[in-house]
Chain A
């Protein structure tokens, strides 16, 4: 199973499943992250503690723990 945190920089993936709990899931959805969404990984913060991704035209910062809950597939 591959999650968002496993992706390298400049890598494009498609979301398969959100494994987050209800609150966080709603949060991700409200940012446009849901099934079938295309995500591009832009940057990693030092030690990969935080990553920057691009969803549509919006750039979003995510902590590693949250990124681990997003199951993805490389496209």
Chain B
């Protein structure tokens, strides 16, 4: 099994598999254990929002597995469902693996029964068989295969049990010429189907699908089948038969909705199957563990305080534990810079390497411990199933602000990184709801902003307070986001609310491997960004802050420095020179130019520049400040650290205003690109830019002046 063979040649023994299942049945996890690849896995609906392809080889076969987003039924209600629906209907593939949750077979079969009417080869993977065993649910897979007419294989993605059998079954099924699943409806429906089939047979109607399939699709009001037959000559005679048949079925089901009638048909068929093949030993009516946990965690009164406590704890840990290795990292980069610096003779190159790259990248790497803790927290939230509970608790509250309870999932993801958050907003079906959520995801401070917060919180508050300050920053950002949502809902995104119907998954103990993997991937991404993008940006900032050289200024100052006797005087002059040089650099010019705009917020030109470079990425804010303050103005020789420089050079009120701007304005270049893609039009990006900039400016102005009054 090899995932590296990306170029999969189209040859005879190539099998293209579509992986389909209801949400949260472990499709991605199954694909991971089949191919040893690493897709993101969570414990709530809608982790896979787009189709993903995985290639691997097994026993002379090339496999392409397409992991499709989870779908409860074969409909096109949400975007994910549409992705799956359209793929299954229109794309080329050889076989479907339908993944089912063994512990909840009846519900999962609802989708299966629809797949079985598609005249495609299907293999059923009864996943989570280890969990089923624990719950004393015994499934007779062989009997089930016989009853349904398709192979059913018990597997467990978690323990990798049955994976080989599953692939073998896929190969066997693929080699088979054609297979007709045995899906039987109630007698009245079967009669109507037979009637239509008989008619199609009589007229020797030729089609790719079987006549039975066409009949079922017609009865189910399948638009495509209708469109196709509508242009055929037999339609004229077929139509009255169909109308009559539909009327009979509706009468039988006492309903005026044929789709509902068919859903009931499927449900009763599935009930029959489950009754035959599932034996549950010692059924205890006791509450399950999940229910017992739920009585506490979603308690009407205690639920929300418990949630807030968890979040508070997470930010405390982020700061407290994250602070421990920070000194060492800081020391390391200081030492590293000095060591490297001493080996370089050329002044300019040394300055570029030490003051530019090393201090810029170092300032970002410093926050890796905080990032890791935050990511672990979010991964835990995702994988345990608690996320859905919070959505449940907060829906009422969110709804008041015009948001959907499920908006909570992208919003929380936004605390990690805005990019996956923008993508996960796809779980919202309604376009207005989705756009609204997209607009306020930026208010949830992403991991990249954490360094700026930690830096400023550490500079102005004692270590005991800093964790609380961090919590306040995050919560007030979120609150502001809710208010912004309300304003947008009342103005730009007026409309009907989307219904809130959501599955609450079982609680699962998070697997250490999974958490480790998720956190590792995200941390490596952060480090990679530090090594490439941030390093490049640091070099640019360094260049802009060092050039053009002003030799006249340098000479006049060095003459003055030569002339003075006292060491202190010399130091002051040297610092004065650095300051003046920086001010006349390109960056200084840009900063000075934009300073009047930011002056009402109390920013000096260095902060103005840092905000502008921060449009590229929030980490760049820190590295820019690092470069700017390491070059000039740092008077105290004993305190080289950036935190010290900031608390010395920036007033408290300006710092508060700065944090407010960071909280609100555009996340970063990459996120903006993803936002534009998800929102569907470039105009939304300009709206977002305008909206966030104005809000950031106004809020920062208020924050600055209020702080000035209080302190």
Contact = CB atoms under 8 A, between A and B. Distances in A.
Interface residues of A, number: 35
B255 interface: yes
Given A29-B73, A31-B501, A58 B107 contact: yes
B396 A50 contact: yes
A29 B263 contact: yes
Q: How large is the interface on B (under 10, 10 to 19, 20 to 34, 35 or more residues)?
A: 35 or more
Chain A contact residues, majority secondary structure: mixed
Most buried by A among B107, B253, B298, B501: B501
25 contacts: A26-B77, A27-B77, A32-B267, A34-B260, A34-B267, A42-B294, A46-B301, A47-B396, A50-B393, A50-B396, A50-B405, A50-B500, A55-B107, A56-B107, A58-B104, A58-B107, A60-B504, A61-B395, A61-B501, A63-B396, A63-B405, A63-B500, A63-B501, A65-B499, A66-B501
Contacts of A29: 73, 259-260, 263
Contacts of A43: 294-295, 298, 300
Give me the 10 closest cross-chain CB pairs, A-B, nearest first.
Answer: A49-B396, A30-B73, A63-B500, A30-B72, A59-B504, A61-B392, A29-B263, A57-B104, A50-B395, A61-B502
A71 B395 CA distance: 23
A29 B258 CA distance: 12
A68 B248 CA distance: 30
Interface in B58-109: 72-73, 75, 77, 103-104, 106-107
A26 B298 contact: no
Interface string A17-34: 010100111111111101
Contacts of B295: 43
B501 A45 contact: no
Contacts of B260: 18, 25, 29, 34-35
A50 B75 CA distance: 25
A46 B300 contact: yes
A47 to B, nearest CB: 6
A31 B291 CA distance: 19
Contact of B499 (A27, A42, A46): A27
Given A32-B107, A46-B396, 13 more contacts: A26-B77, A30-B73, A31-B72, A32-B110, A43-B294, A50-B396, A52-B504, A58-B107, A58-B503, A61-B395, A61-B504, A62-B501, A63-B399
A45 B391 CA distance: 11
B34 to A, nearest CB: 26
B544 interface: no
Contact of A61 (B264, B397, B500): B500
Interface of B: 72-73, 75, 77, 103-104, 106-107, 110, 253, 255, 257, 259-260, 263-264, 267, 290-291, 294-295, 298, 300-301, 303-304, 388, 391-393, 395-397, 399, 405, 497, 499-504
Contacts of A31: 72, 501, 503
A49 B259 CA distance: 29
B83 to A, nearest CB: 16
A52 B501 contact: no
Interface of A: 18, 20, 23-32, 34-36, 42-47, 49-50, 52, 55-63, 65-66
A32 B295 CA distance: 24
B99 to A, nearest CB: 16
B267 A25 contact: no
Contacts of A60: 501-504
A53 B405 CA distance: 16
A60 B395 CA distance: 13
Given A25-B260, A52-B294, A63-B399, A45 B393 contact: yes
Contact of A25 (B257, B395, B405): B257
Contacts of B503: 31, 58-61
Given A50-B405, A56-B106, A59-B503, A35 B304 contact: no
B499 A50 contact: no
Contacts of A58: 104, 107, 503
Given A25-B257, A30-B110, A45 B500 contact: no
A74 to B, nearest CB: 19
A46 B320 CA distance: 33
Most buried by A among B106, B255, B257, B396: B396
Contact of A57 (B103, B257, B397, B502): B103
Contacts of A61: 388, 391-392, 395, 405, 500-504
A49 B398 CA distance: 10
A50 B290 CA distance: 19
Most buried by B among A23, A25, A27: A27
A12 B110 CA distance: 23
